Amino acid sequence: MMFRTDSARDPIVIGSAAIIGAASVVCAVQFMNAPTSFAVPYDFSFAGNILSAAVDLFLCGLVLSYALRYRNLAMLVLAIVQFIASIWCASMAIAPEDIMAEPLYIDNLSIIMILIVGLVGSAICIYALGYMKDFQHHEEAEAEKRGEHAPDRRHQFIALMFLFLSGMFIIVISDNMDWLVAGWEITTVCSFLMIGYTRTPEARKSAILQINLNMVGGLAFHIALILIHLVHIPLSIGGLVEVAQSGEAQYLIIPILLLSIAGLTKAAQMPFHRWLLGAMVAPTPTSALLHSSTMVKAGVFLLMKLAPVYLVFPAASAMVVMVGGITFVLCSFMAITQSNAKRVLAYSTIANLGLISACAGVGIAEAAWAGIFLIIFHTVSKSILFLCVGTVEHRIGSRNIEDMDGLFSRLPRLTRFMMLGILGMVVAPFGMLISKWATLVSFAETGNVVFLILLAFGSAATFFYWAKWLGKLAGVAQKADNVEAGVHKTEWFAIGFIAVLMLGCCVGLPVISLGVVSPYLERVFGSNPQFLGVDNMLIMAVIVAFIAIVFLTPWGRASKKRRVEVYLGGTCTDPDSRRFHGSMGRTMTSVKRNWYMTDIFPEKTVTAVGIIVCSAVILMAFAASFIFSPEVLTGGTFYIERIPRLVGPGLPGLLLGIVVFAVVAPVLGCLLDGLDRKVSAHMQGRVGPRLLQPYYDVRKLLAKEQASVNAVDEAYITCAIIFCILAGGMFISGSNLLMCVFLVTLATLFVIIAAYSARSPFADTGADRECLQVMSYEPMLLIMTVGFFAATQSFDVAALLGLDAPIIIQLVPIFLGLLFILTIKLRKSPFDYSYSHHAHQELVKGITTEMEGRTLAKVEIMHWCETVLFLMWTGMFFIWDNPISIVVALVAVAVVWFLEVFIDNNSARTKWQFGLKSAWLVALVVGVVNLFYMLVTPFI
Residue 639 pLDDT grade (very low, low, confident, very high; cuts 50, 70, 90): low
Q: What is the mean pLDDT of residues 610-629?
A: 94
C-alpha–C-alpha distance, residues 449 and 305, integer Å: 25
Residue pair 392/548 in contact by the 8 Å Cβ criterion: no
The string of pLDDT tens digits covering residues 678-712 is 898 888 888 888 889 999 999 998 888 887 778 78
For position 582, what pLDDT does the model report? 73
Better-scored residue on pLDDT, 405 or 7: 405
The three-state secondary structure class of 823 is: helix
The pLDDT of residue 532 is 67
**What's the distance, CA 153 to chain centroid?**
35
List residues bridging with 122 in a β-sheet: none
- Cα diameter, the chain: 95
Over 60: is that where the pLDDT of 848 sits? yes
Q: Smallest Cα–Cα separation from 752: which of 475, 411, 425?
A: 475
Across the beta sheet with 587-589, the strand order is 571-574, 579-581, 587-589
In this structure, which amino acid lies at residue 934?
A: M
Cβ 715 vs Cβ 732: under 8 Å: no
Percent of the chain with pLDDT over 70: 94
Instruction: Tell which wins on pLDDT, 809 or 825.
Output: 809
Q: Could you tell me which of 192, 157, 187, 155 has the C-alpha nearest to residue 169?
A: 187
- Contacts of 129 by beta carbon, 8 Å cutoff, 6+ apart: 6, 9, 10, 13, 14, 158, 488, 490
Top-ranked range on mean pLDDT: pick from 132-141, 382-391, 420-429, 634-643:
382-391
Measure the CA–CA gap between 721 and 666, rounded to whole angstroms: 11
What per-residue confidence (pLDDT) applies to 500? Answer: 92
Alpha-carbon span 112 to 123, nearest angstrom: 16
Kindly state the DSSP code that residue 592 receives in the 8-state scheme: -
Terminal CA-CA length for the chain: 63
Strand partners, 571: 581
Cβ-based neighbours of 363, under 8 Å, separated by 6 or more: 307, 308, 309, 310, 311, 312, 317, 637
Between CA 570 and CA 515 the distance in angstroms is 61
State mean pLDDT over 594-623: 92
Q: Which residue has the higher pLDDT, 940 or 34?
A: 34
356-403 pLDDT, tens per residue? 999 899 888 888 888 998 899 889 988 999 999 999 988 888 888 888
3-state secondary structure 129-154: HHHHHHHHHHHHHHHHHCCCCCCCCH
Residues 298 and 181: their CA atoms lie apart, in Å, by 11
Q: Is the pLDDT of residue 844 over 60?
A: no
Instruction: Give, in order, the Cα–Cα distances in Å from 394 to each of 24, 198, 284, 316, 487.
Output: 32, 16, 10, 44, 9
Partners of 37 in beta bridges = 105
Q: With bands split at pLDDT 50, 70 and 90, how would you rate the model's confidence at 641? A: low
Cα angle value 470/474/479 (rounded, 5°)? 150
Mean pLDDT computed over 182-209 = 92
- Tell me the angle at which helices 534-552 and 489-507 cross, rounded to the nearest 10 degrees: 150
The answer to whether residues 569 and 683 touch, using CB atoms and an 8 Å cutoff, is no
Residue 710 identity: N
Give the per-residue pLDDT at 840: 43
* pLDDT (0 to 100) of residue 640: 64
Contact 264, 320 (CB under 8 A): yes
pLDDT digits (tens, 9 = 90+) for 266-306: 999 999 999 999 888 888 899 888 887 777 889 999 999 99
pLDDT at 225 over 90: yes
Q: Which amino acid is at 238?
A: G
Q: For residue 765, give the amino acid letter.
A: T
Q: What percent of the chain has pLDDT over 90?
A: 45
Q: At a CB cut-off of 8 Å and minimum separation 6, what does 937 contact? A: none
In this model, does residue 27 exceed pLDDT 80? Answer: yes
Is 50 exceeded by the pLDDT of residue 843? Answer: no
pLDDT digit string (tens) for 721-749?
Answer: 999 999 999 999 999 898 899 889 889 99
Mean pLDDT, residues 647-670 taken together: 91
Are residues 896 and 871 in contact, defined by beta-carbon separation less than 8 angstroms? yes
Q: Could you tell me the pLDDT band of residue 170, with boundaries at 50, 70 and 90?
A: very high
pLDDT tops 80 at residue 789: yes
pLDDT of residue 612: 96
In angstroms, the CA 848 to CA 767 distance is 9
314 cis-preceded (ω within 30 degrees of 0): no
Helix axes 761-792, 431-445, angle to 10 degrees: 40
Residue 223 has pLDDT above 90, yes or no: yes
Q: Which of 181-185, 213-217, 282-286, 301-305 has the lowest mean pLDDT?
A: 282-286
Question: pLDDT tens digit string along 888-902?
Answer: 999 999 999 999 999
Summary mean pLDDT of the chain: 87
Amino acid at 76: L
What integer pLDDT is reported at residue 558 of this predicted model? 57
In terms of Cα–Cα distance, which of 464, 494, 266, 551 is closest to 380? 494
The Cα-based distances of 426 to 423, 739, 755, 812 in angstroms read 5, 14, 19, 30
For 97-146, how does the pLDDT look when each residue is reduced to its tens digit (9 = 90+)?
778 888 999 999 999 999 999 999 999 999 999 998 888 888 778 777 77
> b/e per residue, 865-896, with b = 16+ CB within 10 A?
bbbbbbbbbbbbbbbbeeeebeebbeebbeeb
